[in-house]
């Protein structure tokens, strides 16, 4: 218990590439996303809190924490009250898998690529339970849409990741990063198709605009989030932001070489986080542009699109990878 490596690991988990750093980064990324989205629509976006509205997401979070916390009378309060905490826990576990200060994440073991996908699926189950336990018609419809959508995008995403695992010859994120450092980034080559599929699937996972069907505010108020207020809503918002970091970090790790890059020997621990942030911001801007350019589609169109185009394309991508390596 008292040996120094235990303390270092604990600090890694809680402070630097772990929870505190990720919470800070979550607010920064939400600000970047909102600002970029607003500028693309010729609006200004967050402006008043901090320089250029930098502190706006944090201010929103604190505001929500102070607001009244309502549990609807008809809700299944046992599930309803636990789900925001479980959602946040799931995403905290997920972000510790990302390699940031070295090629290894805070948690790194063989098979962690599969665990990353599984955690995204578990987050969707949490969303469903949160919606269903509110017993509000809007929430129930939103929750059902979230699950129907998952049935559409999960398989192409897993197949796209399978292509990466196939060319790296390993199901471990650290090995994927090392394989890319010794050969080339996987986005150059047949994996570019896989990257495109991954980005589309991830947009659906994040429930952002072309696929924001589960929380379509013009039809079903806020979807599965309708009944959540105060602290619970704040936790869900934070876990959404963490999910944004997680998926852009995963895209950077799988396709853009992770945190590696040209380094001066001895300065890896400083430069790797910088590369990680640069690469994830690039992915974030791609995701935000998609969000700006498209309009929402219907749930049946989404599932149709996934099964008719994305699944065959991802199978083709897998074949292409198998032939070319």
Partner 1 sequence: MMLAEIVSYILIVATIVAAAAATQVRDITRAIVAFTIMNIMVAAMFYVLGAPYIAAFQLLVYAGAVTVLFLAAIHTMRRR
Q: Would you tell me which residues interact with partner 1 (CB under 8 A)?
A: 76, 78-79, 109-112, 114-115, 117-118, 121-122, 124-125, 128-129, 132-133, 140, 143-144, 147-148, 150-151, 154, 158, 171
User: Distance between CA 60 and CA 325 in Å, rounded?
Assistant: 48
Please name the residues in contact with 307: beta carbons below 8 A apart, sequence gap of 6 or more. Answer: 152
CB of 62 to partner 1, least distance (A): 31
CB of 91 to partner 1, least distance (A): 15
Nearer to partner 1, 91 or 234 (CB): 91
User: Distance between CA 258 and CA 121 in Å, rounded?
Assistant: 23
Nearer to partner 1, 26 or 173 (CB): 173
User: Nearest-CA neighbor of 232 among 99, 134, 103?
Assistant: 134
CB of 140 to partner 1, least distance (A): 8
DSSP 133-199: HTT-HHHHHHHHHHHHHHHHHHHHHHHHHHHHHHHHT-S-HHHHHHHHHHS--TTSSTHHHHHHHHH
CB of 195 to partner 1, least distance (A): 21
CB of 255 to partner 1, least distance (A): 20
Nearer to partner 1, 132 or 277 (CB): 132
CB of 302 to partner 1, least distance (A): 14
Nearer to partner 1, 1 or 66 (CB): 1
Distance set, CA 275 to CA 14, 95, 257 (Å): 21, 17, 10
User: Distance between CA 104 and CA 127 in Å, rounded?
Assistant: 30
CB 313 within 8 A of CB 197: yes
CB of 324 to partner 1, least distance (A): 26
* Biggest CA pair distance of the chain: 61
Distance set, CA 115 to CA 60, 73, 90, 91, 206 (Å): 31, 36, 11, 12, 18
CB of 176 to partner 1, least distance (A): 14
Nearer to partner 1, 117 or 263 (CB): 117
**Which structure tokens are listed for 59?**
């201010």
Nearer to partner 1, 134 or 178 (CB): 134
Nearer to partner 1, 141 or 284 (CB): 141
Nearer to partner 1, 78 or 264 (CB): 78
Distance set, CA 83 to CA 35, 62, 64, 242, 318 (Å): 29, 20, 17, 16, 36
Neighbours of 15 (CB within 10 A): 11
């Amino acid at each position: 218990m008292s040996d120094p490596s235990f303390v270092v690991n604990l600090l890694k988990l809680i402070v630097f590439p772990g929870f505190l750093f990720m919470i800070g980064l979550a607010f920064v990324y939400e600000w970047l996303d909102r600002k970029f989205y607003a500028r693309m629509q010729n609006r200004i976006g967050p402006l008043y809190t901090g320089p250029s509205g930098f502190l706006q997401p944090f201010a929103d979070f604190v505001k929500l924490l102070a607001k009244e916390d309502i549990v609807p009378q008809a809700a299944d309060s046992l599930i309803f009250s636990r789900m925001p905490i479980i959602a946040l826990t799931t995403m905290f576990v997920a972000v510790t898998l990302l390699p940031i200060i070295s090629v290894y994440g805070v948690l790194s073991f063989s098979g962690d690529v599969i665990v990353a996908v599984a955690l995204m699926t578990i987050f969707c189950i949490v969303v469903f339970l949160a919606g269903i336990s509110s017993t509000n018609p809007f929430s129930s419809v939103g929750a059902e849409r979230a699950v129907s959508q998952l049935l559409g995008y999960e398989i192409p995403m897993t197949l796209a990741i399978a292509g990466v695992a196939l060319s790296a010859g390993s199901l471990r994120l650290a090995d994927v990063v090392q394989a890319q450092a010794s050969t080339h980034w996987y986005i150059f080559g047949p994996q570019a198709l896989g990257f495109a599929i991954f980005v589309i699937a991830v947009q659906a996972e994040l429930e952002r605009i072309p696929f924001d069907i589960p929380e379509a505010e013009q039809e079903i108020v806020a979807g599965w989030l309708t009944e959540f207020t105060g602290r619970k809503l704040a936790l869900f918002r934070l876990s959404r932001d963490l999910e944004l970091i997680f998926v852009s970090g995963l895209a950077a790790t799988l396709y853009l070489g992770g945190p590696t890059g040209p380094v001066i020997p001895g300065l890896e621990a400083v430069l790797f986080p910088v590369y990680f942030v640069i690469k994830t911001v690039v992915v974030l801007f791609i995701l935000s542009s998609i969000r700006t350019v498209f309009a929402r589609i219907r749930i049946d169109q989404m599932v149709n699109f996934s099964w008719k185009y994305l699944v065959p394309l991802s199978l083709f991508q897998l074949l292409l990878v198998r032939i070319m390596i």
